[in-house]
Amino acid sequence: MNIQVKVTDHVVRPLEKVFNSIIDPVQITKYFVSNASDQLSEGNKVTWVFKDYNVELNVEVLKVIENEQITFNWEASGIKTRVSISLFSEEKNKTKLVITEDSFETNKEGIAKALQQTQGWTDFICSLKAYLYTGINLRNGKMN
């Protein structure tokens, strides 16, 4: 049996705006990564740089359905996992985000990694909201 990370929240912005802020390499640097080598598009291999952690991660984009889903593999936790970001329009200007990451073993190390990734995806959504609502980059100060 394995553990799946799942983080769900709402962003009070139109679906297209939320989707584009995730796939666009310029916008994602305004709240999540220090640098993104390319857009998240199906079949792309993208490098994300996190200067605050002195880490470069390779992102293998598996699937992108415009305004609906982004799926990729990466090794942010030290093991290869699959991330799926699903987006749903609930109202004209309200988007539901569901982020899942599979899978982590049900041992002490796996549980620790799952908790770490849960914190990371929660931070991702909080930072995304701050960027979209106010233009503020919550990662400022961490990356310099």
Task: Give the amino acid at 79.
Answer: I
The residue with tokens 């995806």 is 121
H or E element, residue 111: helix 108-134
pTM above 0.85, yes or no: yes
- Distance separating alpha carbons of residues 81 and 72, to the nearest angstrom: 8
pLDDT in tens, the chain (144 residues): 899 999 999 999 999 999 999 999 999 999 999 999 999 999 999 999 999 889 999 999 999 999 999 999 999 999 999 999 999 998 889 999 999 999 999 999 999 999 999 999 999 999 999 999 999 998 876 654
Q: Which CATH superfamily is domain 2-134 in?
A: START domain (3.30.530.20)
Closest by Cα among 40, 15, 14 to 27: 40
